[in-house]
Structure 1
Amino acid sequence: MRHRDESRNGIAVVEFALILPVLALLFFVLVEGAHAMQAYSDLVEASREGARLALMEGPTSDIDSLVRAVTQELDSDALTTLVTTDTGNTSVTVEVSYAYQPFIENALELLTGSPSLQIVAQTTMPLP
């Protein structure tokens, strides 16, 4: 019959306590990254729809309200839309930017020194 070494009884608990913060950080980064990618995907879709509207109705149409309608899940106060037409009036560019706020308010500020992350998507389409 084998006898267990009494000094090894708590090793699994200690190992788990050491690896738990690393696993929690990894989980947080994955969830936060997925949330930021969803915000970027919404911005890309909004800039494309805004450029299509400018193409169909002209660059003076109400692109900002369309962008806000497409990005309903995002905070509209942190959303900025910029529509520019080049000098030859041959193309229109719709740029949508968003000041991304992480789930944990101070997490991004601790890592980067900035309280928010600016996410930008832009689409350029030729005018007829």
Structure 2
Amino acid sequence: MRKKNENGAAAVEFALILPVLLLILIGIIEFSLAFNAQLSLNQAAREGARYMAIHDDTVEAATAAGNAAGRLDPSTVTTRFAFSGGATECAEDKQVTATTSYTLTTATGFLDAFTGNIVLTGKGTMQCGG
């Protein structure tokens, strides 16, 4: 009885499984960076709402929100403010909601072909008047 030649079988198996392993690795990296950006946006929105509730200055509150965005570039974070009850400024009995937005840039660029632009948003609400 002759033995079958199995030289190179491990290399073929590795070549078949490698793309799947790389896709999983890229997915883990991209998801973790997107999750970190989302957490940074939530923190930035809370900080923007807090600053607006205390100082009632839209420009400085937006700057404070951008600066609180962690690893994100402050110039890429946009912040909008809305007041409860249709108000146009902070009043003692109103709440201010800050909404931060950021267009995610992926680290590998692999997902860009499939998803296009991914816009993340964060929200924070505070009672006006501190």
- TM-score scaled by length of structure 2: 0.82
Q: Could you tell me how far 1:109 is from its partner in structure 2?
A: 3.1
RMSD over aligned Cα atoms = 2.1
Flag as ranges the 4+ runs of structure 1 deviating above 4 A: none
In the alignment, what sits opposite 2:30?
32
Amino acid at match of 1:45: Q
In the alignment, what sits opposite 1:22?
20
In the alignment, what sits opposite 1:11?
9
Segments of structure 1 that go 5 or more residues without pairing to the other structure are none
In the alignment, what sits opposite 1:126?
127
1:54 and 1:61 in contact (8 A); partners too: no
Q: 1:5 to 1:48 in 2, by over 3 A?
A: farther
In the alignment, what sits opposite 2:114?
111
Identity %: 31
Q: 1:56 to 1:76 in 2, by over 3 A?
A: closer
Instruction: Report the number of matched residues.
Output: 123
- TM-score scaled by length of structure 1: 0.83
Q: Could you tell me how far 1:35 is from its partner in structure 2?
A: 0.5
Instruction: Choose between structure 1 and 2 for higher RCO, CA contacts under 8 A separated by at least 6 residues.
Output: 2
Amino acid at match of 1:124: T
Q: Could you tell me how far 1:125 is from its partner in structure 2?
A: 2.1
